Amino acid sequence: MAQINQANSLKHKLKFGFFQIPPALKSANVCCFVIGESVSFFGSWMTQFALVWMVYQLTNSAILVGIAGFTNQATGLVLTPLVGVLLDRWNLRYVLLTTQFVSIVLSGTLTYLSITGDINFIWIIIIGILQGIVKAFDLPARLVAIPRIVDNKADTYSAISIHSFLINTAKFISPMVGGFLLAKVGAASCFLVDSVSYFPFISAILTVRIKSFPNKDSSGKSQIWKNLKEGFVYTYEFLPIKYVLMLQVVICFMVMTYVNLMPIFTADVLKGNAETMGYIMTASAFGSIVAGLFLILRKKVTGLEKVIANSTMILGLSLVIFSRSASLEACLFLIFIVGMTNTLSLIAISNFIQLILVDENKRGRVTSIFTTGFLGILPFGNLFFGGLAGQIGVANALLFGGVCCSIGAFYFAKKLPEMKKIICPIYKQTGLIS
């Protein structure tokens, strides 16, 4: 198995020289899926960008910005682990179609309320809660689908890297377009673009082939809580996954909240407007694209645990320096580093989990626990840092997050030798190393 994989890898290298074309790109199935979902993410990022700015303009309150971010994702903490059990039972295609259609309705409602002038903080909270419920099903379903649309198991890493790269490309473009539309037309245009962006992904979902696996634990409703417990026990006892998920929690709580703090940082520290925030978010997203390119072009599939440790350490230090800066030029460079290392760390964690997870019957549950870090932990971080910024200032809040991230990276790095002893046999079993 290992020799076949190495021969295929050599064939691709010889064919394209130094630039190895990712194997997953040769699959029309993978291309159709990831391109479709990247378009939908473009609309989603634009809506998030517009809502954060709108909340701060309506309320002028850092705490309420944190509350808005909390309600948009807090339901994920409760729902997402349970969703993992259901995804191991349900038809992924039907789940994805349902979440896209509901998202269209919610974005259309935001468009209507903005055009009529009836949009207010309460409506944003209500729709944010509903969007959080949809995300609790949608994001894990997308991640679970990726390994099931590839033609070869060995192409899973490549497919996930392309998936992440295209999502972050959408994240890069959306602040530029969103900042322009916010300044020239208004928030309604951002929500309208979001509503339309789901249709290409719906078309992709209807087209692609998604493999199904027999579920050994689908004996009835009485087994749901037992299956949920099995997922948590497996995650806790499998130390490599346990350690990367612990680090993910630190990143999501302490660092990723910087996105929600950017309107406050832009207005209070940089004395800028919506376009200035667009530049900041674009620089961050450009860093995300660079991170995605690095992982796509990375020839070595193994060794992601070292990438995670190094990039998280740089992430924490970069955020510390960013929090002490007041020059737009310096902030653009530093937020580029923050965006790059933040994305590199989280994508590498996601890829690492999918690579070492060999039990397909637990893929949905483990993936959902991973997604809980975004949908469940991140909103509490938004709430906490919104309040902290209101008390000690946005710059000091960012400093605190950066320091805590660096400490978490140092602890994770100390666990690398222990992790290596466990994951090397798995790499050999799956043919990733000889």
Q: How far apart are CA 166 and CA 164, in angstroms?
A: 6
Domain ranges of the chain: 23-211+220-429
pLDDT band at 410 (very low <50, low <70, confident <90, very high): very high
The residue among 95, 108, 106, 277 whose CA lies nearest residue 182 is: 277
DSSP secondary structure of 47-102: HHHHHHHHHHHHH--HHHHHHHHHHHHTHHHHHHHHHHHHHTTS-HHHHHHHHHHH
- CA–CA dist 34, 38 (Å, integer): 6
DSSP track, 203-228: HHHHHS-------TT-S-GGGHHHHH
In sequence order, the 6+-apart residues with CB closer than 8 A to the CB of 329 are none
Measured between alpha carbons, how far is 379 from 320 in angstroms, rounded to an integer? 21
Range ranked top by mean pLDDT from 5-19, 43-57, 403-417: 403-417
pLDDT higher than threshold 80 for residue 324: yes
Q: What is the pLDDT of residues 126-137, one digit of tens each?
A: 888 888 888 888
Contact 315, 342 (CB under 8 A): yes
> Residues 262-266: what's their mean pLDDT?
82
Model confidence band, residue 3 (pLDDT cutoffs 50, 70, 90): very low
Q: Which two tokens stand for residue 307?
A: 């990438």
On whether the CB atoms of residues 51 and 68 are closer than 8 A, the answer is yes
Question: Which range among 55-64, 73-82, 373-382, 416-425 has the greatest average pLDDT?
Answer: 416-425
**What is the 8-class DSSP label of residue 46?**
H
- Among 204-213, 286-295, 323-332, 357-366, which stretch is predicted with the lowest mean pLDDT? 357-366
pLDDT above 90: residue 376: no
Residue 30 tokens, joined: 């993978």
Residue 142 pLDDT > 90: no
What span, in angstroms and rounded, lies between the C-alpha atoms of 27 and 87?
A: 24
Instruction: Give me the phi and psi of 228, to 5 degrees please.
Output: -60, -45
DSSP 186: -
Higher pLDDT, 73 or 201: 201
d(CA 91, CA 18): 40
- Structure tokens belonging to residue 174: 């959306």
The gap from C-alpha 200 to its chain's centroid, in whole angstroms, comes to 20
**87 confidence band (pLDDT: 50, 70, 90):** confident
**DSSP H/E element including 179:** helix 156-184
Other beta carbons within 10 angstroms of residue 415's beta carbon come to 18
Model pTM? 0.70
**Which of 135-139, 190-194, 367-371, 404-408 is predicted most confidently?**
404-408
375: nearest Cα among 52, 15, 131: 131
**Domain boundaries 23-211+220-429, corresponding CATH code:** 1.20.1250.20
Closest CA to 77 of 405, 416, 375: 375
The residue ranking higher by pLDDT, 235 or 113, is 113
Identify each DSSP E strand in 251-394 by its residue range. Answer: none
pLDDT the model gives residue 9: 47
Nearest CA to 48 among 166, 194, 251?
194
CA atoms within 13 A on the CB side of 140: 34
Q: Count how many Cα atoms sit within 13 Å of the Cα of residue 305 in the half-sphere of its side chain.
A: 25
Which tokens is 387 given?
Answer: 């309040």
Q: Is 220 left (phi over 0), alpha (psi -120 to 50) or beta?
A: left
Longest dimension (CA), the chain: 64
Query: How many residues comprise the chain?
Result: 434
